[in-house]
Structure 1
């Protein structure tokens, strides 16, 4: 196992400052193998001077997104990595379409229905347990009566069976 620190070359693009063709800033970072992803992320935020209200996307040379932990993986090839920094985007409630509102209302209604069904189930569970226990007791009592009847009948027939059986010569 090689525990040498890796030097990773970064190309930082700040889309939060200019929307089109941002300037590429070249920096490098030194990372020990198998470093925790949170440590790497905080170090990247420090190097790029990024706050938590921004989004950092890490890409390899083929422009594919990669997780932060891949930077510390020694088996991952040494190459340049692009870090794209953007603002957090979200849909404002005022500009949401009617279809989105209907969808959200539908999901809320489904959740309310599910919560109602769970509450009803919780109320019925003790009653179902009681019914199951009563059914089992009824079944056991019925079988006990039948076994008692068969035992009495067997005791009545046993002397007659012994009379009809021929005695073996011993």
Structure 2
């Protein structure tokens, strides 16, 4: 009985510490961000250079990001993500340039939240890709998506956006 109480107390303590760590981490991602990078519409297409602006809001266990990326001078697309932290996992939604809502699931490792995207429709031959949201130093953030080329089986970076706090 004492052993079960001790284990329960340790689990509660760990959960509280993890929640506090996530609160600080998510808070460090809050703010206005600007930057750029590249986006591939399909794994076999030439990358398009983009410039982006994001606004992110954080709470103790959630992060919401809204932004716009522009490419080819006249093309502008809104994108956004909402993440919730529960226990040791992240889950949420992503709305990309198509306007369709896709689901996100994953975990944080160090300064990066590594997520699996479950697309609302087939993209590049399947409905899965990976998204990494990484804190870079005090005032930087990197967003990167990686998908698999259905013909070769190779992993392809389909977007990489480097942001700086405004």
TM-score (norm 2): 0.29
TM-score (norm 1): 0.29
When Rg is computed on C-alpha atoms for both structures, the one with the higher figure is 1
Q: Which has the higher contact order (CA 8 A, sep 6+)?
A: 1
Q: Judging by fraction of residues, say which structure has more helix.
A: 1
Q: Judging by fraction of residues, say which structure has more strand.
A: 2
